[in-house]
Amino acid sequence: MYNTVNPIGNFIADTIKLAFSGIYSLSNHAKVKAAIQETENYLLIDEAFRENWKQVLPAIQAHLKQDWDSLEQALSNIAATQKDQTQFMMEFFEKLLTRPIFMQNLAQSLEKISKEVIETKEKVDKLYEEFCKEGARAEERHKKVIESIAQNTQNLLNRNIIEKVTNGKHAQLPFSNIRIEKARFTFSEEESKTTVTLEGIEVTFLSKINEPIYDHTNKGR
Amino acid sequence: MQTKKMTPSYYQLGILAQERADWKKAEQCFHRSLEIKEETGDRVGQAATYHQLGILAQERADWKKAEQCFHRSLEIKEETGDRVGQAATYHQLGILAQERADWKKAEQCFHRSLEIQEESGDRVGLAATYHQLGILAQERADWKKAEQYFHRSLEIKEETGDRVGQARSYHQMGNLAFLRSDYDTAEQQYHRALSILESIGDRAGTAKSYHQLGMIAHYRGDYGTAERQYRRALEMFEVIGDRIGIANSYGQLGSLAQASGDYDTAEREYFRALEIFEELGVRMGMAASFHQLGIIARSRGDYDTAEQQYRRALEMFEEIGDRMGMAASFHQLGIIARSRGDYDTAEQQYRRALEMFEEIGDRMGMAASFHQLGILKTEQNDPNDPKEGLAYNLQSLAIHTQLNSPRIRIDLDWLLRQRQILGDERFETLVTEMIKDRESCQNFYALMNEFERIQKTMKEQSHDSDDERTT
């Protein structure tokens, strides 16, 4: 799934890739911040994970500032404190990968760059260059997104969908006057254990009952 | 003389066996009856027996044989001028076309049948044909029309005292409520059908009602009950040799395994279902299997395979005009695009799905689209201001609370994240802007607090057990 030779390099690259592939924003740094924010949301759940993150974060921050000396220092710190760096990173990633939303983005990008081992500062530079280019492309895409949203909103208005669901009060927000009904059940502990996953739509294998017409021509003869 | 007396006996025995879903015995009886009728030159009787053999083949999903039998029966009926019989056979040819998802042909056949039935005052036939027109409308997601047809059919059945027919109407009205996500009504209707079907020993119908009750439990998150009901139905389908029923059971058991995260079992069940559907040429079932296999591939992170499967399913749904299926495919393709970071495509697909769900009145589907659009907007926009995303997620929650769906917890989980990003104060301001009435606000915070409390308890328990392990 991911390269164990240089997992930290991979992780940094991934975080950046995640940033520009996953979150559209006009500011490059905002994207990375968003990626960090998303990761940090998971940190709230797992204390051990948080400890690991604390060690990785300085490396990412150094990279963002293009402060290569600090980056080297941060990487050395990780190497110094971890007896088995590869094992540590594997565990770290495994924990990351058990988080469903993050996994969706991260697992895919990890797989893609598993061949791109980043061993030197030059390679990191090259990646940063790509990052900047991708940032520009992302801006282009962002424009398209805005155009497409405008078009879709117009389409929705034409179809009266927004009016229907919002009782016509969509001027300020997509929806207002949302009605929330009283819960008719309490959350059981069992339910809370269930992993909260992305909501896909399944199709069902419905059993219908046809109404055949028997031919009773012979009946009673 | 003796032979002539025996013919209707074999014929009636066949019908009896057929009504009890003992299809092997029914086939033996009809063939014996046919032999005697051919010997004695009884053309009317032959036409009736071919008709019954057609229904028998149809019930076993042997479409080719069914078609041959019906055409043979129709030929003789036209020759003998039997109008009522012709209406019955057109009706069956309509069901056959329906099973093959040829809606146009099905509609033509039913209307032909209806015309003759009205002309001849055949009330029983009329009720049956209205029922089928209801199923046809239901399969095209025209729920209003379906409801009208089912009610019309039920009215006639009540007038004529047709109990079996009433049970069938209740079952289909249950299906209609189920598709509209009104599970309480659906459950009531299935139970009404079941009590009649069990009392008259209709095993085929009983199995189908159990299957549907399993689906209700499944959607309510009561997986234990769901599995028991599916297995009960499967056993009955196996005994009576209903292969479509068996495939449907495999499909739902797959879906159940999938809900519990057991993807290997789910995949195995879907392939078992697919094999039967492919063998029988049931395109609706094939499309459903491809769709579900796509979900499994996505859950495993194999987006390319997932996309392939969704597109195969979509093609079939489009071909057979199943708008619910199409909407589900668009939704899933949106999720794939989002997973790949292609937000433009994701949004387009979600909106296509939303439009269709809205059009057909599928509220669960609409909630799913709102939920996904909420996630998309939260990720797309400024992460410090997920206002638009919050609105979509609240809309999804609103529908889920109305339907009393356990999916409420998915919305709440996401809303808790949004609160973390926004901070309590801003979150509350926005929520108050969007949920204007006081009661809704109270309900919302009651839900959030309860959900948060349970999450905290679970977290503490998990820490305690970790501590115990360390000590």
On chain B, the residues whose CB falls within 8 A of the CB of A195 are 261
Probe site for chain A from B52, B124, B171, B196 (most A CB atoms < 10 A): B52
Count of CB atoms within 10 A of residue B407's CB?
20
More confident residue, A140 or B184: B184
The pLDDT score that the predictor gives to residue B186 is 95
| Subunit contact A200:B455, Cβ cutoff 8 A | no
pTM comes to 0.64
Q: Which two tokens stand for residue A14?
A: 């991934």
pLDDT in tens, A62-73: 655 656 677 667
Residue B223, pLDDT above cutoff 80: yes
CB B220 within 8 A of CB B39: no
Radius of gyration of chain B (CA): 26
pLDDT in tens, B307-318: 999 999 999 988
The pLDDT score that the predictor gives to residue A205 is 87
Q: Which two tokens stand for residue B314?
A: 């979509």
ipTM for this model? 0.73
Count of CB atoms within 10 A of residue B161's CB?
8
Give the DSSP letter string of B165-218.
Answer: HHHHHHHHHHHHHHHTT-HHHHHHHHHHHHHHHHHTT-HHHHHHHHHHHHHHHH
CB-nearest partner of B88 from A176, A182, A213: A213
On chain A, the residues whose CB falls within 8 A of the CB of B131 are 211
Mean per-residue pLDDT for B337-353?
A: 91
Closest CA to B325 of B372, B279, B360: B360
Mean per-residue pLDDT for B302-308?
A: 95
Calpha distance B317→B333 (Å, rounded): 14
Closest CA to B360 of B327, B329, B334, B319: B327
Cα pseudo-dihedral B337, B338, B340, B342, rounded to 10: 70
The pLDDT score that the predictor gives to residue A184 is 59
Residue B198, pLDDT above cutoff 80: yes
Residue B95, pLDDT above cutoff 50: yes
Mean per-residue pLDDT for B204-213?
A: 95
| Subunit contact A176:B420, Cβ cutoff 8 A | no
Chains A, B: CB pairs < 8 Å: 286
The pLDDT score that the predictor gives to residue A203 is 85
pLDDT in tens, B16-37: 787 766 778 889 999 998 998 8
Probe site for chain B from A149, A180, A216 (most B CB atoms < 10 A): A180
Contacts of B415 (CB under 8 A, 6+ apart): B390, B393, B394, B397, B448
- Rounded to the nearest angstrom, the minimum Cα separation between B440 and chain A is 5
More confident residue, A83 or B110: B110
Per-range mean pLDDT, top range of B98-102, B303-307, B434-438 = B303-307
| Subunit contact B351:A155, Cβ cutoff 8 A | yes
Mean per-residue pLDDT for B84-104?
A: 89
Mean per-residue pLDDT for B53-58?
A: 91
Residue B445, pLDDT above cutoff 80: yes
Give the DSSP letter string of A27-88.
Answer: SHHHHHHHHHHHHHHHHTT-HHHHHHHHHHHHHHHHHHTT-HHHHHHHHHHHHHH-SSHHHH
- Please report which confidence band the pLDDT of residue B11 belongs to, taking 50, 70 and 90 as the band edges: confident
CB-nearest partner of B85 from A179, A204, A217: A217
